[in-house]
Structure 1
Amino acid sequence: MTSTRLSRAARVDAATPASRNRVVDFLRAAAITVVVIGHWTIIAVDADGGIQPHGVLDGARWTHPLTWLFQVMPIFFLVGGYSNALSWRSARRKDLSYGQWLRTRLRRLGIPLIPLLLAWLVIGVVAVVAGAPHVTVQLASQMALIPTWFLAAYLMVILVAPPCLVLWERFGWFSILGGVALAGAVDALSLVTDQPLLGYPNYLLVWAAFHQVGYAWLDGRLSGAGRRLLLAAIGLVGLLLLVLVGPYPVSMITSAADDISNSSPTRITMAFLGMLQAGLVLSLEKPLTALLRRPGLWFLTVLVNQRIMTWFLWHLTVMVGLAHLLLALDARAVLPEPLTGLWWATRPVWALVLLALTGLVVLVMGRFEDPRADDRPAPAAWKPVLAAVAVIAGLAVMASVGVVGESGVTWWWPLLPVVGMWVFGVIRTPARG
């Protein structure tokens, strides 16, 4: 068995093109691992109080500075910028249209989403019919679908990635500076008027601006330790000024202990956090590249990336399901009081159990990450654009309020992304050829 695994690892290593930047794949896999373990840790389950979405952050302010390390969504946008620029340039060389390129990206991200949305639609209906309190089902579904906020933001960035690449190729760093400045103006308006909704454009502005740092990485504009450390220094100084002098909280993850959230809506602090993180991790690119020449580590990286969407989308559904089972059984022996010594000591066991259960789900649902080849003619650009808008709209709402409202199941929100992808031709069905 061991020799078989080693031989598979060696084959994967040998089949990887020398031109492939393995660090991109590694950072993506590492970031998803941090996100998953982070969610399993900060969400507390109290035998008396139920599920506490940000229990650790709400009850232990000393953990807030740690979010500068564990809020790694910027790393996804960093590697996304690298990958999307590489992909779009390849499409241009092959004379592929924007519509065809976007449809391909949507299929990769959207098809694995379908079973999760349909599952929560069914769970919501069954739970409500069975008499479960609406507020309980709403919280459960909202928590389980938290990962979809990132997917909604990432799809928005993908929509504008090609024109942003044009801006980068023409204006370089000024395109990033302009985006960050515009995001700062949006933040200022939102904070001065005390209207968080006015800050929602920054889900696009902040991430689209920082996404271009991935372009800079690809184009060699961040080569050398000096430039990378300078980027990290800019990020650190910006964060310190915004947190110590400005109105922003220390925690980069939403906490009830703070009046303002850095992540809901996305604030300009996330752009500077991204610069800090990008500068630091890219400073390690050379030793990471050497490590990833080891077949075993590279094989593990490839495995995680093959099912990365499934891990990401389902890990909180598994946790919510296990938590509600234990609460229903009143299993106090395995639900110690949050933030006690026993609670902290049992977190590794909690994570391992959830890892095993999520692994089973990945084995079943992972096949949705391998859709059959799409050899249809290129679509008109408006079709995948409208499909993306439908997905973004549905996910944005569910990430905030779940699938159940005061009047019952809001079935149209989980169906909107599915129907949108079907009507506008992203999903390929036999009936549509």
Structure 2
Amino acid sequence: MSTRAQTADPAARLTRAQQVDAATPASRNRVVDFLRAAAIAVVVLGHWTIMAVSPTHGIDPHGVLDSARWTHPLTWIFQVMPIFFLVGGYSNGLSWRSARKRGTTYAEWLRTRLRRLGVPLIPLLVAWIVICAIALLAGAPAETVRLASQMALIPTWFLASYLLVIVLAPPCLVLWERFGWLSVAGGLALAGIVDAISITASSPLLGYPNYVIVWAAFHQVGYAWLDGRLAGTGRRLALAGIGAAGLAVLVGLGPYPVSMITASADAISNSSPTRVTMAFLGLLQAGIVLLAEGALTRLLARPRLWLVTVMVNQRIMTWFLWHLTALVGLAHLLLALDARALLPEPLTGIWWASRPLWCAALLAITGVIVLVMGRFETPRPDPRPAPPLWRALLAAALVCGGLAVMAGSGMVGAGGLGFLWPMLPLIGLLGLGMVPLRRSAEQEPVSAPGGPR
């Protein structure tokens, strides 16, 4: 290209960050994308820290929380699952309203959401089927393989809950549009009743409905943000105050523990099953982060920071799904090599001092995985007609059912590798046609920064 042509084309002189910044519609709320990326970073670093690995005890999923109770109040900061549902409410409300305007059916909209969540999941499930099969054939203890697969698949519990909330998002939006904040209050009241029954009966199973009720109720707060019902400092302070007051009563006077992440020493878990405390934690966190929305908006006007945000969001599912596979793999390698020098006793001074190096190593490993598997997050267009509604709903049910079981018990049982549970999501996504087995030649544009959420 000649010098004159370069001068005539100002876009040619823009950096990548400036190009992405210029291509982003002014109407896009960049804070939504930033909160999603920041939350995933907190989840990944949190998991890499709280899981203790030692030659004497192997891998302890909740080692730090079980051995250092002083860390329990910190979970009010590091348990950021409510933030995902806050930005999910904003994004799903925006997406469904856009679909309604275009005349897109609910079944077609749901299929699109299933594909966005499900396509990156498929290689993870296939990989762990292969890993478990090879490990068992090589003579590894079934319990060791079960625990490894269960730990690696812990992120799938969130996908199961989130997908159920997506299924309910359109009717819940109708409730929000008709009843406003009463729809949130009603959901929290119902969640409280479920908790009371579950805790009184000492049956966590009876609390399982709250995996949906709590998160669906809090998901409505994302609709409130979208509709401007949380505009202004006063409303956001009030939201944070309600969350803080609710937590103070439930934890200080009620039966709920301080830790918002499961600790084996606690008689009740706030997160397994999800309790109403998680919704009040969400109100507190939402109020605080929304108070910073103005400052974040100004920061995200900087092209470089916005570029980082966009890049993280383009591969966010891959980071989330694979980060514990990286931990499990590195931990088992070091344990097999008896590398005691690299595995100091958890919670000692040298252990804490080595955490940055530990996280850096896992970051590098996960980064390589993302480079290989990240392409599954770039969906292709699906020109097929909308599926029957029953098929989309059945697919969602199969995906949620399989993921929920594997998040709690892994892929291996007393009888060996349990093919049923990983096959359910694969049947739902591939067998029921949510993900086409034959790819279209045309590539769908990447959603960020200007496309649909």
Counterpart-to-counterpart distance in 1, 2:27 and 2:438: 37
Equivalent residue number for residue 326 of structure 1: 334
1:212 correspondence with 2:196: no
Deviation of residue 371 (structure 1)?
2.1
Which one of the candidate residues 50, 53, 72 is aligned to 2:58? 50
TM superposition score normalised by structure 2:
0.94
Deviations 1:312-366 (A, max 9, x none): 0000000000000000000000100000000000000100110011000000000
Equivalent residue number for residue 367 of structure 2: 359
After superposing on structure 2, the runs of 4+ consecutive aligned residues of structure 1 that deviate more than 2 Å are: 430-433
After superposition, the Cα gap between the structure-2 partners of 1:148 and 1:65, relative to the gap in structure 1 and judged at 3 Å, is same
Deviation of residue 41 (structure 1)?
0.1
Counterpart-to-counterpart distance in 1, 2:289 and 2:311: 22
Q: Is the 8 Å Cα contact of residues 88 and 222 (structure 2) preserved in structure 1? A: yes
Counterpart-to-counterpart distance in 2, 1:392 and 1:374: 22
Equivalent residue number for residue 226 of structure 1: 234
- Across the aligned residues of Structure 1 and Structure 2, the Cα RMSD in angstroms comes to 1.3
Deviation of residue 120 (structure 1)?
0.6
Deviation of residue 432 (structure 1)?
11
After superposition, the Cα gap between the structure-2 partners of 1:370 and 1:338, relative to the gap in structure 1 and judged at 3 Å, is same
Q: For this pair of structures, how many residues does the alignment match?
A: 430
Counterpart-to-counterpart distance in 1, 2:439 and 2:289: 47
Classify the secondary structure of the residue corresponding to 1:414: helix
Q: Is the 8 Å Cα contact of residues 118 and 415 (structure 1) preserved in structure 2? A: no
**AA of the residue aligned to 1:383:** R
**AA of the residue aligned to 2:17:** A
Equivalent residue number for residue 430 of structure 2: 422
Counterpart-to-counterpart distance in 2, 1:382 and 1:43: 40
> Identity of aligned pairs, percent?
71
Counterpart-to-counterpart distance in 2, 1:237 and 1:138: 40
5+ residue gaps, structure 1, are none
**AA of the residue aligned to 2:314:** Q
Deviations 1:256-304 (A, max 9, x none): 1111100000000000000000000000000000000000000000000
Deviations 1:88-112 (A, max 9, x none): 0000000000000000000000010
Equivalent residue number for residue 263 of structure 1: 271
Counterpart-to-counterpart distance in 2, 1:299 and 1:213: 27
Equivalent residue number for residue 275 of structure 1: 283
Which one of the candidate residues 316, 326, 330 is aligned to 1:308? 316
Equivalent residue number for residue 295 of structure 1: 303
Equivalent residue number for residue 402 of structure 2: 394
Deviation of residue 380 (structure 1)?
1.4
Counterpart-to-counterpart distance in 2, 1:248 and 1:326: 37
Q: Is the 8 Å Cα contact of residues 6 and 296 (structure 1) preserved in structure 2? A: no
Classify the secondary structure of the residue corresponding to 1:418: helix
Counterpart-to-counterpart distance in 2, 1:96 and 1:43: 44
Counterpart-to-counterpart distance in 1, 2:83 and 2:145: 32
Give the alignment of 1:399-410 within 5 angstroms. 399-410=407-418
**AA of the residue aligned to 2:334:** L
Deviations 1:57-90 (A, max 9, x none): 0000000000000000000000000000000000
Deviation of residue 51 (structure 1)?
0.2
5+ residue gaps, structure 2, are 1-11, 442-453
Counterpart-to-counterpart distance in 1, 2:221 and 2:211: 16
Give the alignment of 1:135-146 within 5 angstroms. 135-146=143-154
After superposition, the Cα gap between the structure-2 partners of 1:84 and 1:431, relative to the gap in structure 1 and judged at 3 Å, is closer
